[in-house]
């Protein structure tokens, strides 16, 4: 949780544990694939590997690591403009007039923004596995919702 330098957003939150885990897994994938790429031409297996095969193995590791690093993207920003929710793909801004509440259903992995007509938007930036950090993020989010005279529905 922090404020941005521009002052446009009063609150910014991103997951912590899953972000560290994703970075570790991505690094491990790169190390494993680079090691395998270097070892492809070692030893006598009866199969002839070329330099292109080694490069392909390394590239596969980099692509997989890039995919895993997409899990580090989630972020939620709150300010006078509304709520900017960035999940794995894309970012959407929810205006305060559409916001009906922030809930964290029992057993859910992350919070969600309640919208009109029983719709909702997942907020992957506030995750249950962050425990106290997630609780603090929800509390701060709700404080800001109150400041902007938003009366969320009870959920």
pLDDT of residue 5: 42
Of 24, 133, 19, the closest CA to residue 71 belongs to: 19
Per-residue pLDDT band for 8 (boundaries 50, 70, 90) equals confident
More confident residue, 40 or 66: 66
pTM summary value: 0.79
**pLDDT tens digits, 135-150:** 999 999 999 998 886 5
């Amino acid at each position: 949780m922090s404020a941005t330098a521009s002052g446009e957003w009063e609150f910014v939150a991103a997951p912590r544990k899953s972000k560290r885990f994703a970075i570790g897994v991505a690094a491990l994938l790169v190390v494993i694939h680079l090691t395998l790429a270097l070892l492809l031409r070692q030893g006598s297996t009866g199969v002839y590997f070329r330099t292109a095969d080694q490069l392909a193995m390394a590239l596969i590791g980099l692509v997989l690591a890039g995919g895993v690093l997409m899990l580090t993207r989630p972020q939620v920003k709150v300010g006078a403009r509304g709520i900017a929710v960035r999940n794995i793909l894309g970012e959407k801004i929810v205006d305060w007039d559409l916001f009906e509440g922030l809930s964290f259903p029992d057993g859910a992995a992350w919070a969600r923004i309640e919208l009109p007509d029983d719709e909702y938007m997942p907020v992957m930036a506030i995750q249950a596995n962050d425990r106290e950090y997630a609780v603090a993020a929800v509390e701060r989010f709700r404080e800001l919702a109150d400041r902007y005279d938003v009366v969320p529905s009870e959920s």
